[in-house]
Structure 1
Amino acid sequence: MALFTFKLPDIGEGISEAEIVGWHVKVGDRVEEDQPIADMMTDKATVEMESPVAGIVVRLAGEPGDQVAIGAMLVEIEVEGEAVAAPSPSEAEVPGAVGIEAATPTSVRPEPVEGPSFSSSAVAVEKVEGFDRLSPNGGEVATSAVLASPAVRARAKELGIDLSQVKPTGDRIRHADLDAYLLYGQGQGYRPAGRSAKRADETVKVIGMRRRIAENMAASKRHIPHFTYVEEIDVTALEELREQLNAGRGAGENGRPKLTMLPLLIVAICKVLPDFPMLNARYDDEAGVVTRHGSVHLGMATQTDAGLMVPVIRDAQDRNVWQLASEIRRLADAARTGKAKSEELSGSTLTLTSLGPLGGIATTPVINRPEVAIIGPNRVIERPVFRGKDIVAAKLMNLSISCDHRVVDGWDAASFVQAVRKLLEAPAFLFVG
Structure 2
Amino acid sequence: MFWCEWAWLDGAPRAGVLVDVDGPLIRDVTTVDTPPAGARRLPGLSLPGLANGHSHAFHRALRGRTGGRGTFWTWRETMYAVADRLDPESYRRLAAAVYAEMVLAGITSVGEFHYLHHPSGGRYDDPTAMGAALVAAAEDAGIRLTLLDTCYLSAGFGAPAEGVQRRFADADADSWAHRLEEFTVDSQRVRLGAAVHSVRAVPAEQVPVVAEWSRRAGAPLHVHLSEQRKENEACLAAHGCTPAQLLESLGALGPGTTAVHATHLDERDIAVLGGSGTGVCLCPTTEADLGDGIGPASALAAAGSPLSVGSDGHSVLDVLGEAQAVEAGQRLRAENRGHFTTNAQLAMATAHRGLGWNAGRIAPGCRADLVSVALDGPRLAGVPMAAVPVHARADDVRHVVADGEHVVRNGAHERFPDAAQRLGAVIEELHGT
TM-score range, shorter chain: under 0.3
TM normalised by structure 2 equals 0.23
Q: Answer with 1 or 2: which has the greater Rg.
A: 1
Structure 1 or 2: more helix by fraction: 2
TM normalised by structure 1 equals 0.23
